A and B are shown apart, each in its own frame.
Chain A
Amino acid sequence: MKYADPHLTDQELLLEIEGTASGQNEKPTRAHLDGCWKCLARRKDLENAITDFVHVCQREFDTELPPAAGPRALLRARLAQLAATEPAPRSSWAMVWRGLTSIAAVCGVLALGLILSRFSVGWRNPSGAQSGIVSTPDSRLTPGATLLIDRPAVCTQPDTKNKAVPAALQRKVFEEYGIPGADPRAYEVDYLVTPALGGADDIHNLWPHSYSATAWNARVKDALEDRLREMVCDGSLDLSEAQRDIATNWIAAYKKYFHTDKPLAEHCRGCGR
């Protein structure tokens, strides 16, 4: 006559150890364990294996783990960009309304296209740069881009002056903004998030900022960049917040950090007001 093995299987022992994590009922195995030293010993072996495994995995990893500040700042900046560039979700009735208005808009655009084609007006200028004056970047072309860098790295950079943007890249930026024949002396091809605040050397972080003809010119933005860096480095402002504020709306950031509604006189030499 053959008897079934009276002892618990490894799976039953593990479920008993795991308890609620496994979602199983451990009561029947508990009753067996109360009277079986062999199974108790095997249970202990399994527990030791779990302990050893966790220690080995974590010990090895923890020595390699880089600090979270840089990736966290990058995520904050990218979330801000995403929120600024994606249209806000709408409710269902609004979606229906939006559908109807879209159809009307398509008809309108077709009609307008016919009219505009008569006058050969370019359409690739989403920033409104046709006038040649650009004081805010187009978020579709220049959402901003940052490096994986934390506050200590930002504040120990020896040179905080922006690198000169190569001429070919400047031309590309002018083309993107619909001003291919622009005079480079009238613009600073500017970093939206300055490298002094961890901004990346990337066309998505570059835009043609007019030096003159508007109060909110490139020199004013330079002053804001200096101010933000000072605040980040003296610990009064989080790096990710600085990146986010300047990437989202630099003029609003200037007003916020200089407590003023218009550029200060010392920042505004050559302003065309």
Chain B
Amino acid sequence: MSSRITGSMILPFLRTASATDPDSRRVRLEDEVTSLFDQFRNPLLRYLWNLGLTLPDGEEILQDVFLSLFQHLDRGKPLYDARGWLFRVAHNLALKRRGRTRRDSESREQACFEGLAVDPDPNPEDRLASSQTQQRLMAVVRALPEQDRRCLFLRAEGLRYSEIAGVLDMSPAAISLSLSRSLARLARSTERHNL
């Protein structure tokens, strides 16, 4: 059973395998799910936020994600890549939630990017320049196709190509193409202004 869950970041899960009493096994499982929550709550919440969800909606989805994880493991199902699993479930729940509150999330997403654009910076020129770079960068991100944006955000959270492929149901080659296309656009946007 020690091969049920693999990966250097999730070694604490291996302890559960040795617990044979159902009650103590569940207590350990609760501890381990909480430990994963501590490890992945911020990256997951940031990803959901970048998808256009509000923070309270994101927190609510994360509760469901980690309760699902508990049930998944409690039923003895394998978990080979905890990070990929968590992002995939969070992504799917977020899309369902966004489908229900489309208008709200679009306006929030817009507000997020506009918040950057109107960031009042009273400080000297270099900070102003930095703010302008941010504005340009986010304008380019906003103009990207949605799937390309998701690839970028997932990669920024440290997911490998194979993990992103699992979350977005794309091939690793398509992920590579998407990321290179997006980053080339970002690079060109700052390059033009720096020259």
Q: Pick the contact of B187 from A9, A49, A54, A71 — CB < 8 Å? A: A49
**A148 on the B face (CB < 8 A):** yes
Interface 0/1 of B20-60, CB less than 8 Å to A: 00110011011001100110011001100110000100010
Evaluate whether A79 and B183 lie within 8 angstroms (CB atoms) in the complex, with A52-B133, A56-B138, A57-B50 already known.
Answer: no
Bound: A78/B67 CA distance, A: 8
Evaluate whether A83 and B50 lie within 8 angstroms (CB atoms) in the complex, with A65-B42, A72-B37 already known.
Answer: no
**A89 on the B face (CB < 8 A):** yes
Contact of B177 with A11 in the complex, beta carbons under 8 Å: yes
Please provide the chain B residues from 145 to 159 with a CB less than 8 Å away from any CB of chain A in the complex.
Answer: 152-153, 156
Residues from chain A with a CB closer than 8 A to the CB of B186 are: 49, 52-53
**A103 on the B face (CB < 8 A):** no
List the one stretch of B68-76, B86-94, B120-128 in contact with chain A.
Answer: B68-76
Interface of A is mostly: helix
Q: Pick the contact of B71 from A58, A82, A148 — CB < 8 Å? A: A82
Bound: A72/B180 CA distance, A: 37
Residues from chain A with a CB closer than 8 A to the CB of B180 are: 9-11, 13-15, 46
Q: Pick the contact of A21 from B33, B160, B191 — CB < 8 Å? A: B160
**A66 on the B face (CB < 8 A):** yes
Contact of B46 with A61 in the complex, beta carbons under 8 Å: yes
Contact of B46 with A23 in the complex, beta carbons under 8 Å: no
Interface 0/1 of A79-116, CB less than 8 Å to B: 11011001011000000000000000000000000000
**B5 on the A face (CB < 8 A):** no
**B116 on the A face (CB < 8 A):** yes
Residues from chain A with a CB closer than 8 A to the CB of B6 are: none
Residues from chain B with a CB closer than 8 A to the CB of A60 are: 112, 115-116
**A179 on the B face (CB < 8 A):** no
Contact of A53 with B137 in the complex, beta carbons under 8 Å: yes
Evaluate whether A49 and B70 lie within 8 angstroms (CB atoms) in the complex, with A14-B180, A57-B156, A75-B37 already known.
Answer: no
Q: How far is the CB of A263 from chain B (nearest CB, A)?
A: 25
Bound: A76/B22 CA distance, A: 18
Chain B residues with a Cβ under 8 A of chain A: 22-23, 26-27, 29-30, 33-34, 37-38, 41-42, 45-46, 49-50, 55, 59, 62-63, 66-67, 70-71, 74-76, 112, 115-116, 133-134, 137-138, 141, 152-153, 156, 160-162, 172, 176-177, 179-181, 183-184, 186-188, 190-191
Give 20 A-B pairs besides A57-B156, A68-B41, A71-B41 with Cβ atoms closer than 8 angstroms: A23-B172, A48-B190, A49-B184, A49-B187, A52-B137, A52-B190, A53-B152, A58-B46, A60-B116, A65-B45, A68-B38, A72-B38, A76-B34, A78-B67, A79-B30, A79-B34, A83-B26, A83-B70, A83-B74, A86-B71
Chain A residues with a Cβ under 8 A of chain B: 9-11, 13-15, 18, 21-24, 42, 45-46, 48-50, 52-54, 56-58, 60-61, 64-66, 68, 71-72, 74-76, 78-80, 82-83, 86, 88-89, 148
